[in-house]
Amino acid sequence: MAAGRAWRVVSMVAIAWLAAPLWAAPQGTVQGSFVLDGVDAKLTHVRAARAALDKGKSGYEVLLSARPADGDLSSWRTAEPAERGSFIHLLFEPNGAIWVADLGHAAAKSGRFGVVTELETVSFGVHGDRLTGHVRTRGEQSFGDDRYSVDLTFDAPLEK
């Protein structure tokens, strides 16, 4: 009898373990490219949160990164890609206009760099607790000796 009960417990634990990903909060997705001098940054991770912009103005903060990121999103504004990997850190106004963008690519000669007008919002939306967007450059751009282009679509849960 004890063996039968043990088998049921093991079965229930196995079912719970296998179903756990279904119960987890939906993760974000990133599609597209951030190419610098012919090398794609392979940004596969995304985080998003509401953010203070300036003088009480609120907006949104998005981090697209090659490596998983934890901690404060704003710390990525001054991150070095040699230490953290390639990334794009974006601040959006409530209407989706880009407030500021900081780009870091592991292949960049200049490390990280900031842009505003070179990156445009193609689409942007907040739907309940999710933020979606599409940002891109208009063709290839340059910063110092580096040439880069961005065309990325993302979807992420808004962090609390």
Which of these, 149, 132, 156, lies nearest to 32 by C-alpha position? 149
In a domain, 35, yes or no: yes
For residue 62, give both structure tokens.
């998005």
Collect all residues with Cβ–Cβ distance below 8 Å to 130 and sequence separation of at least 6: 26, 155, 156, 157, 158
Provide the residue type at 97 as one letter. A
| Mean of pLDDT over the chain | 86
* CB neighbour list of residue 15: distance below 8 Å, 6 or more residues apart: none
**Residue 127: inside a domain, yes or no?**
yes
Tell me the residue range of the domain where 89 lies.
26-159
**Is residue 82 domain-resident?**
yes
Position 8 confidence tier, pLDDT thresholds 50, 70, 90: low
Rounded average pLDDT over 30-40? 96
Question: Under DSSP, is residue 112 helix (H, G, I), strand (E, B) or coil?
Answer: strand
Q: What confidence tens digit (pLDDT) does each residue in 69-114 have? A: 989 998 998 888 988 999 999 999 999 999 999 999 999 887 788 8
The answer to whether residue 55 is domain-embedded is yes
The band of 24, judged by pLDDT with boundaries at 50, 70 and 90, is very low
Q: How confident is the model at residue 17 (pLDDT cuts 50, 70, 90)?
A: very low
The Cα–Cα gap between 58 and 83 comes to: 29
**Is residue 26 very low, low, confident or very high in pLDDT (cuts 50, 70, 90)?**
low
Q: Assess if residue 4 is contained within a domain.
A: no
For residues 25 and 111, the model is more confident at: 111
Q: Is residue 3 part of a domain?
A: no
* Torsion, CA 106, CA 112, CA 114, CA 115, rounded to 10: -20
Total domain count, the chain: 1
pLDDT in tens, 44-69: 999 999 999 988 899 999 999 999 99
Q: Is the pLDDT of residue 16 over 50?
A: no
